[in-house]
Structure 1
């Protein structure tokens, strides 16, 4: 299927409109050019395509199903569907691009994969892919997130990855990205920085989008088989934006399908440092090697950000999302911590599915949307499962939701 938006973008320099590009040192640019060339070769190489498809089917368990959430649909008055990326091996959508990046690193002759992680889902997925293809793996993770997402830290260790604690700043995702970039700059030749979202210098926003587009490509076929039509609305959470871009990518030319990216309003969207609503409140800027919307402090530097969801607290966003916002193709909204946690429990108790807190942001907005658009159809990307979050949720919110004695 031809897709005007994705076929035309990015351009040769990695721009989606005015966003994207590559703002990195010259030595690293040479390495990025090699990666871009190798990726362009790989995506046209039958052997690479066949191997990735084999792993998606037999290792990841794709296609992930779509589930009609009938209890939620009846309660909220719209047909609510879930794209079950939480059922993938490793528990989230991240494995989709991690396998692609690991195979690419192998083709390039790299010895090690390095990456940042917030909620730990990208870290677990990359550690899994590294083990599968026989590469070393270093994962940089903020100390706050290491404590908060302990089950995923244990998984990474079991898989053979080295988890490196980042203790600067707020000790969360942005600082983990800083540390991983610093490590990559020290040796860009024997290791590949497997960026965990549709962010970073070109070609990563394009490359991660392409690997994640399997979500939307599957969903487009599945939802038509189930309902006979395309969904009226798509909803996905947005931190860096990989799961949303993966779902949106197959529907960008369908003007009757409304797109909603859901950012974290955190504790207070009015207070700087207490949210991570980049597209809602940010402005264009450059960080981590690319141009996009960005939350800035008074000095023009990346603003401190916060979210109850460790995977969403990033002060920028993928450049294609910035472009989609500017042209009005996608709508970007915000959900606060309490709304996300409430949705976490609603899905758990009405449908028997425990979602990741990140995905709970998308669900929370979808339930609002259902009331605004009764009788419509809403497809949510359930990007991850909540196993990693249960200890934190019970400790922080258990009493509020009737879980006592933990």
Structure 2
């Protein structure tokens, strides 16, 4: 039966009242936590319509975060490839160095409204942790960040930033000592006192209302980018690309183009290969399942439990994808999922740094790598990439590991067939 509901724009139609995007999403938590999720949902629905809240959030975005961030045309890279025109939405220029502050300031403002005394969160690459520590300092709320021991060593600069900002950093030593384990640890800390604390989930994952809330706070990226791109070019891009672990930056930019005749691409980490534990390509290798209170596409082990995953980009090594992404990949013909390997990511990291003077986060470099591959095929089309964060946090890791990559992969596969003579890539 055709209903008025079916003709609503996607953003207004999903999620439904129970937090579902089709069959994905929902809230699979115990009764006590479900009551707290409902309190959070009610508080959000109250303040998101408040002129005081809207005014304060807009003031923060403009005068504290430095929004709007610009859209930038990569002339050197586009000219070298000789294919599509590549543009970047510069979220690396957002205060604290990534898109994460967009929802962290919103979540902290919500916590302030609810009278919460403590912010708790997980972090992988450290950008969400830095952003929430920033928000905690801004609102003078105690902040506790859970981070895997492996990621603490890998992303040391961000750990230092979190501590300088006044956050308590909890080292998680269980399991793979990475993002999934940090989520588990943070959830346990939150469950110990859900009345006085709030778990500020770092992506469009978790039980309802978090996938919806984080999307709404991140939509500013896409709203800005769509308007800026049209102002620059007089048209819409042919393609919009974003890296995707849980998928907050991807949902932020892609949400603005869902109703448009534009091809939308999420890029997941293929890591070292196709074996379980060597990648975090949830859409490619996952099946439907429940993780951390929501139903989505999950990479599982032989027992049907969430499997260990891996990526050189700590912010992407999560064994599931946000429920809205799962729904869109399954339902929308112009919404596609792709993969990029570690070596392609590292190549793109150096290519963008050397050709455009922009050092991307390794997470963002996945999107750049796919954009380069796509540009070689789509000679006359335009590509908008969400450069979700800057690579300051990754420079030590890249320096320490790049020699190993070079021994194994001596050639630049992304630029194969392109005349790079006279170009200082390495």
Displacement of 1:398 in angstroms is 5.0
> Could you say which residue in structure 1 is the equivalent of 2:328?
324
2:320 & 2:20 partners in 1: Cα distance?
16
Q: Which runs of 5+ in 1 are unaligned?
A: none
> Could you say which residue in structure 2 is the equivalent of 1:139?
145
Displacement of 1:78 in angstroms is 1.0
> Could you say which residue in structure 2 is the equivalent of 1:207?
213
1:381 aligns with 2:386: yes
Q: Which runs of 5+ in 2 are unaligned?
A: 1-6, 408-426
> Could you say which residue in structure 1 is the equivalent of 2:369?
364
2:337 & 2:347 partners in 1: Cα distance?
20
1:227 & 1:401 partners in 2: Cα distance?
39
Moved segments of 4+, more than 4 Å: 398-402
> Could you say which residue in structure 2 is the equivalent of 1:313?
317
Instruction: Number of aligned residue pairs: give it.
Output: 399
Q: Of the candidates 185, 188, 193, which is equivalent to residue 182 of structure 1?
A: 188
Q: How does 1:7-406 map to 2 (within 5 A)?
A: 7-76=12-81, 77-254=83-260, 256-268=261-273, 270-328=274-332, 329-398=334-403
Displacement of 1:157 in angstroms is 0.3
2:351 & 2:188 partners in 1: Cα distance?
41
* 8 A Cα contact 1:141 1:173, kept in partner: yes
| CA shift in 2, pair 1:107/1:343, >3 Å | same
* 8 A Cα contact 2:65 2:95, kept in partner: yes
Cα deviations by residue, 1:113-135 (Å, 9 ceiling, x for unpaired): 00000000000000000110010
* 8 A Cα contact 1:3 1:252, kept in partner: no
- TM-score normalised to structure 1 length: 0.97
1:42 & 1:367 partners in 2: Cα distance?
42
* 8 A Cα contact 1:84 1:381, kept in partner: yes
* SS, match of residue 11 in structure 1: coil
Displacement of 1:400 in angstroms is 6.2
* SS, match of residue 296 in structure 1: coil
Cα deviations by residue, 1:144-166 (Å, 9 ceiling, x for unpaired): 00000000000000000000000
2:72 & 2:397 partners in 1: Cα distance?
27
Cα deviations by residue, 1:223-259 (Å, 9 ceiling, x for unpaired): 00000000000000000000000001111001x2000
Displacement of 1:188 in angstroms is 0.5
- TM-score normalised to structure 2 length: 0.92
* 8 A Cα contact 1:116 1:196, kept in partner: yes
1:273 & 1:395 partners in 2: Cα distance?
22
2:361 & 2:122 partners in 1: Cα distance?
18
* 8 A Cα contact 2:343 2:405, kept in partner: no
| CA shift in 2, pair 1:221/1:3, >3 Å | farther
1:341 & 1:400 partners in 2: Cα distance?
9
Cα deviations by residue, 1:319-349 (Å, 9 ceiling, x for unpaired): 0000001113410000000000000000000
1:341 & 1:32 partners in 2: Cα distance?
39
Cα deviations by residue, 1:21-42 (Å, 9 ceiling, x for unpaired): 0000100100000000000111
* 8 A Cα contact 1:3 1:250, kept in partner: no
* SS, match of residue 311 in structure 1: helix
* SS, match of residue 385 in structure 2: strand
> Could you say which residue in structure 1 is the equivalent of 2:3?
none
* SS, match of residue 311 in structure 2: coil
Cα deviations by residue, 1:54-94 (Å, 9 ceiling, x for unpaired): 00000000000000000111112111000000001100000
